Amino acid sequence: MTQKNKGTTDGLPYAMRDKRILQKDQKFRFACHAGLPCFNTCCGDVNILLTPLDVLRLSRSRGLATGEFLSRHTLSPFTKELHLPVLLLKMNDDEDKRCPFLAEQGCGVYGDRPWSCRMYPLGMGLPPARAGVEPEPVYFLFADDFCAGRDESTEWTVQTWLADQGITARENLEEGYREIVSHPWFIGGRQLEPRRIELFHMAFYNLDKFREFIFDSTFLDRFELEDDLVEQLRDGDEALLKFASRWLRFALFAEPTMKVRESASEAGLSEQDGS
């Protein structure tokens, strides 16, 4: 039965309007496993959106620096409707356009598979930002005819699926990204200037470059950071990813999330992005 949540679909992408919207405790049936006629056929010619955590985990599991991973494995299509850049996983350049990580037995990067791959057959949308309102994700169910997993008997709720797929466990590291992309600053269609978009791209997607930016520039002369945090940022990827959203709130939206050193202010070094 199709259920529309009329209170939450307003302003969501048009593509979601004919989907079955699910509350977190609502049930659906699904299982994906070898033996299904469709097994391994859906991992090709598909748009897999990558989150910053996806880029980090896949880079590390491939033994690549984040910049190298970005140039080898991602595309960043430009569309005027988007206020921030998105990253897509680059499919192979052959007839089937298969995912480069697809193996005989299924996903070859299963433990580090992207958020979109974990979510399927669910999708998630965020309503447009509204001042003073925390955007609540809206979940919906894809109804792809090619997917035989929809006829399996295993029953899930949104909640149990998110937990089973490790999405709930990642939330702590993903929330900063989600808060930035749905930030109320964008209300009314405001656009960031190109320099700020570059900062977003570096801090969230190219973490190795962001680390260099912190440690090989005057960043630490400009901003006052707790000593133990500085040490975590030196070696800790997840600490750095969390810090990226704190710094971007300052650099993109002038939120008071960073403390500018007095000496930097006096010397005129307090430019918002610290670059």
Interface residue with ligand SF4, options 21, 56, 70, 109 (CB under 6 A): 109
CA distance 89 to 112: 13
Contacts of 126 (CB under 8 A, 6+ apart): 135, 137, 138, 178, 181, 182
Closest C-alpha among 199, 183, 59, 67 to residue 130: 183
Is residue 38 part of the contact set for ligand SF4 (CB under 6 A)? yes
Query: Measured in whole angstroms, how far is the alpha carbon of residue 243 from the centre of its chain?
Result: 15
Is residue 42 part of the contact set for ligand SF4 (CB under 6 A)? yes
Q: Could you give the string, one character per residue 11-30, with x where binding to ligand SF4 holds by CB under 6 A and - elsewhere?
A: --------------------
Looking at 107-115, 126-134, 195-203, 243-251, which segment touches ligand SF4 (CB under 6 A)?
A: 107-115
Q: How far is the CB of 162 from ligand SF4 (least distance, A)?
A: 16
CA distance 173 to 261: 28
* Residues in 147-166 that interact with ligand SF4 by CB under 6 A: 147-149
**What string of DSSP letters covers 16-60?**
GTTSEEE-TT-EEE----BTBTTTTTSSBS---EE-HHHHHHHHH
* Residues in 188-207 that interact with ligand SF4 by CB under 6 A: none
Is residue 107 part of the contact set for ligand SF4 (CB under 6 A)? yes
Q: How far is the CB of 24 from ligand SF4 (least distance, A)?
A: 21
Looking at 141-149, 193-201, 212-220, 252-260, which segment touches ligand SF4 (CB under 6 A)?
A: 141-149
Reduce the DSSP state of residue 178 to 3 states and report it. Answer: helix
Residue number of the CB atom closest to ligand SF4 = 149
- Relative to beta strand 102-103, strand 106-107 is antiparallel
Closest C-alpha among 104, 102, 96 to residue 114: 102
Q: How far is the CB of 119 from ligand SF4 (least distance, A)?
A: 11
Query: Measured in whole angstroms, how far is the alpha carbon of residue 208 from the centre of its chain?
Result: 17
Looking at 13-21, 32-40, 71-79, 230-238, which segment touches ligand SF4 (CB under 6 A)?
A: 32-40
| Number of residues engaging ligand SF4 in binding (CB under 6 A) | 20
Residues interacting with ligand SF4, by CB under 6 A? 32, 36, 38-39, 42-43, 48, 99, 101-102, 107, 109, 113-114, 117, 120, 146-149
